[in-house]
Structure 1
Amino acid sequence: MTASGTTERWVRALPTVTGRFDPDAAALAAHLAHGEDLLAALPSKPDRSPRQHGLADVVHRSARRLRSSFLRAHATTVYDEVTERRTLSPRLPELARGAARRVPGLLPDPDQMAAELRHAQADKEGREIDQAIFFSELLRLPDVGAHVLESMRGPTPRALALLPEFRRVGELHLGSVHLVRLHGVAHVTIHNGHCLNAEDDRLVDDLETAVDLALLDDDVHVGTLRGGEVDHPRYAGRRVFSAGINLKDLHCGRITYIDFLLRRETGFIHKLLRGLAVEDDPSTWPHDAVEKPWAAGVDTFAIGGGMQLLLVFDRVVAGADAYFSLPAAREGIVPGAGNLRLGRLAGGRLARQVILGGRKLWAGEPDARLVCDEVVEPGDVGDALDRAAHDLDNPAVVANRAMLTLAEEPPDVFRAYLARFALVQAQRLYSPDVLAKVGRFAS
């Protein structure tokens, strides 16, 4: 039988989800194992003919349809088994690995993901879409999704290991981030200067570590974030807040779905907004989180993910020559939770101009004051940021920002947004228009 005929017969044999977990899991594992055999019989993705690309697409689409159907029936059961009935709080990578072990074929295994990382984005099989189906279905469920998000609000093991040193010394160099405590303020500075302080997997890890440490250290009352000096010839020696996602890394396949796209939203950005989750303990009652105010100082520009960050800060100051933009439509991806937050802060019409039309907001424009509180001379950003931190150093600010956040973005609204974002963003990563656009960064 031809490869096409074998594939068609496999698609017609798609098992029906019965609602009984063990038989459904066994049927899924067997069917998807056969699907992997069909993919393995094809050349690697870069070497496939158009007909072979079509066959692989049929296999992936059918497999994803089965995964979706299985999870619609059994997501809660899978989650409860992996988390031992929610007595464990695994972070996203551990959760994905646990589900892959419990139901073979439901998610890619570590070997499959390691193989993906050896390829450029355009040459991957797209197994991150399979991960996205899993997380989207978990987040869709109110109780399960809330537990997933709460688990990600705990401090990272790296931060806990570094906490004694930070408490003692008050300063850490974390790779792409510098953290220093001065007079009750944790100053976080991005040092990813080789790429205009663009975001990559390492920076997301370093920023979450820095945010955790600032929130865990009792001697810190307020946090600030600013970009450091960069190496780019056009901006050499100047500070830049952030150029957003590192598109060269995206082209090369080094921007990962779990450790970048999901982690930044559910990890350090969520903690900036809602604080660290703390244990239910008599010593912490009645609080369930450690929250602190945050201010940002914008030099030169805050593009893409950089502008997204500003939407969760309590105070934003910017140099008069700076601008803000979310070029999502031009890049072809979704700007994180920017779609959720920008319209609330600035209004739906302006949000559409920025996100869909690519409009830049220059700091001096009246509309820019909807995302920025104060505009100063470029050389005065540091002093203005210090003043903003001083103004926020007030216990009543902490209580009031928590209530503002609850009113403006209820946790269930954020969870429902992420449930949709989790799948849409993964699909965009492998869409032809995005792959063509990031192909410009091949050299």
Structure 2
Amino acid sequence: MIANRAPAWDVAAPSFTGVLDDDARALAEFAAAGEDVLTGLPAKAERDPAQRRVADDVLTACRTARRAFLSRHVEALYDLLTDRRTSYLRLPVLVAAAAERFPGLVPSAAQMAAELDRVQADKEGREIDQGIFCAAVLRSATAGSHLIEAMLRPTPRALQLLEGFRRTGVVELDAALIERQGDAAEITFRNAHCLNAEDAGLIADLETAVDLALLDDQVRVGVLRGGEVDHPRYRGKRVFSAGINLKDLRNGAIPFLEFLMGRELGYINKMYRGLLVDPAAGAWSDRTVVKPWIGAVDSFAIGGGMQLLLVLDRVIAEADAYLSLPAAEEGIVPGLGNLRLTRLTGARLARQVVLGGQKIHAATAQGRLLCDEVVAPQDMRAAIDRAVRELSAPAVAANRRMLTLAEEPLEVFREYLAEFAHVQVLRAYSGDVLAKVERRWQRSGSVR
């Protein structure tokens, strides 16, 4: 490619008629023309300003066309992909099916595979197109509600491990350990090398562990706690969570579907709303398994770690522990923290935390808004056992189900997630975020 030369992009946007097959064909042809132009350009990191402008024009035009197509057809195509909502497809499977059935709508498997080899800043941003699709599905009350239910079902891996867990009471996963102790299932985060920061592996393991805790009839209460870590400053100490692994984000290893959307629609929502065990229509209480959850916060709960606390029924923290949502500093959206924090802290403090990065120390008046009990480190075990006994009462699960219904109706959750899918994926590829994670990586090479 000659410097400062770029192929022209002058293809007219498709005119959609409202007929699904015709519009799908028009979108596929338009997207293919755009891909031809992108193929004629160097890799993103090697483009000159003129080539970058052409690529941006192509990507913007194709995304505008995708939004227009989905605004007309999202419910019809969702019905096609799910056999009129009789099949419950997890989000990655649904998007893969859409790529195959509707070429040009979402990235193909080959396009996503090519992205995996690049750091975040050098990717084409194919996940933005996945975000457009997810947002459209979630905006539909019909399709979005069905997708939420699909993501609330037990994972295949959990179902495979369930018999062994019921028999032994222990399952060791790569990044998490689940152990049954009396009435409780204790889930320990074991990402020791990175202060129990969240990465794709931990998210997958936590969903499996949460499923097991909810499926096992011998378990009445779930407990979340961070394990001991390797960091020199905290070696030998327990840490609850350092939030998202920023090194992985910089390296392009935080997937949009499995991580950014999967954690919200998956294990966190299962802890909050329950595990869907019966897809048949009926009362939500007959279709789901709900149990109370306890969080034991050692050292700190940052970012996603603090977000977890907002759906738990009892939070016990060490006296020296602190909580924070450093979203403004990192440039991304703190999951559902913006939706849930206000009802615990009030609007003013929530803005100070989310927009200003204010830390909340557990042993303060502000900390008491988020922590039910603050204890000395040596008293943590006794506090957990006491909380398990109190929350094992038969009426607890029924009442926390009704509290969830009152606090966060499903439609509020769905509408928030629809906007989150759009905003978060754009933030993940925004220049300020990419620059911040690169500076941090260059400075320390560590997660935080």
How high is the TM-score relative to the length of structure 2? 0.96
Partner of 2:119: 120
Partner of 2:426: 427
Aligned-pair Cα RMSD in Å: 1.5
Q: Check conservation: 2:240, 2:301, Cα contact below 8 A.
A: yes
CA distance in 2 between partners of 1:400 and 1:63 (Å): 48
Partner of 2:224: 225
Partner of 2:375: 376
Q: How much has 1:428 moved relative to structure 2? A: 0.2
5+ unaligned residues in a row in structure 1: which ranges?
none
Are residues 114 and 315 of structure 1, via their aligned partners in 2, closer, same or farther at CA, if it must alter by over 3 Å? same
2:8 aligned partner, one-letter code: T
Q: How much has 1:52 moved relative to structure 2? A: 1.0
CA distance in 2 between partners of 1:226 and 1:183 (Å): 17
Partner of 1:303: 302
SS in structure 1 at match of 2:301: strand
Q: How much has 1:284 moved relative to structure 2? A: 10
Q: Check conservation: 1:297, 1:382, Cα contact below 8 A.
A: no
SS in structure 1 at match of 2:329: helix
* Matching of residues 117-196 of structure 1 within 5 Å: 117-196=116-195
Stretch moving more, 297-306 or 14-23: 14-23
User: Cα deviations across residues 302-344 of structure 1 (Å, max 9, x unaligned)?
Assistant: 0000000000000000000000000000000000000000011
Q: How much has 1:285 moved relative to structure 2? A: 9.2
Are residues 286 and 392 of structure 1, via their aligned partners in 2, closer, same or farther at CA, if it must alter by over 3 Å? closer
Q: Check conservation: 1:241, 1:298, Cα contact below 8 A.
A: yes
SS in structure 2 at match of 1:404: helix
Aligned length: 439
SS in structure 2 at match of 1:287: helix
CA distance in 2 between partners of 1:38 and 1:230 (Å): 48
Are residues 282 and 95 of structure 1, via their aligned partners in 2, closer, same or farther at CA, if it must alter by over 3 Å? closer
User: Cα deviations across residues 6-56 of structure 1 (Å, max 9, x unaligned)?
Assistant: 21x12xx11122211111100000010010010000001111112111111
2:423 aligned partner, one-letter code: V
Residue 441 (structure 2) pairs with residue 441 (structure 1): yes
Q: Check conservation: 2:28, 2:104, Cα contact below 8 A.
A: yes
CA distance in 1 between partners of 2:174 and 2:348 (Å): 39
SS in structure 1 at match of 2:419: helix
CA distance in 2 between partners of 1:88 and 1:280 (Å): 10
CA distance in 2 between partners of 1:281 and 1:74 (Å): 26
SS in structure 2 at match of 1:231: coil
CA distance in 1 between partners of 2:7 and 2:255 (Å): 35
Q: Which runs of 4+ in 1 moved over 2 A?
A: 2-6, 280-286
SS in structure 1 at match of 2:271: helix
Are residues 386 and 44 of structure 1, via their aligned partners in 2, closer, same or farther at CA, if it must alter by over 3 Å? same
Q: Check conservation: 2:6, 2:41, Cα contact below 8 A.
A: no
Partner of 1:33: 32
Q: How much has 1:382 moved relative to structure 2? A: 2.3
CA distance in 2 between partners of 1:284 and 1:350 (Å): 37
Q: How much has 1:379 moved relative to structure 2? A: 2.3
Q: How much has 1:387 moved relative to structure 2? A: 1.2
Q: How much has 1:378 moved relative to structure 2? A: 2.0
Are residues 280 and 90 of structure 1, via their aligned partners in 2, closer, same or farther at CA, if it must alter by over 3 Å? closer
Are residues 151 and 283 of structure 1, via their aligned partners in 2, closer, same or farther at CA, if it must alter by over 3 Å? closer
CA distance in 1 between partners of 2:251 and 2:76 (Å): 36
CA distance in 2 between partners of 1:286 and 1:345 (Å): 25
Q: How much has 1:282 moved relative to structure 2? A: 11
Q: How much has 1:370 moved relative to structure 2? A: 1.1
Q: How much has 1:281 moved relative to structure 2? A: 6.5
Q: How much has 1:184 moved relative to structure 2? A: 1.5
Q: How much has 1:3 moved relative to structure 2? A: 6.2
2:330 aligned partner, one-letter code: E
Q: Give me the identity figure in percent.
A: 58
CA distance in 2 between partners of 1:253 and 1:419 (Å): 23
User: Cα deviations across residues 111-134 of structure 1 (Å, max 9, x unaligned)?
Assistant: 111110100000000000000000
Partner of 2:14: 15
Are residues 143 and 3 of structure 1, via their aligned partners in 2, closer, same or farther at CA, if it must alter by over 3 Å? farther
5+ unaligned residues in a row in structure 2: which ranges?
none
Residue 5 (structure 2) pairs with residue 6 (structure 1): no
Q: Check conservation: 1:300, 1:321, Cα contact below 8 A.
A: yes
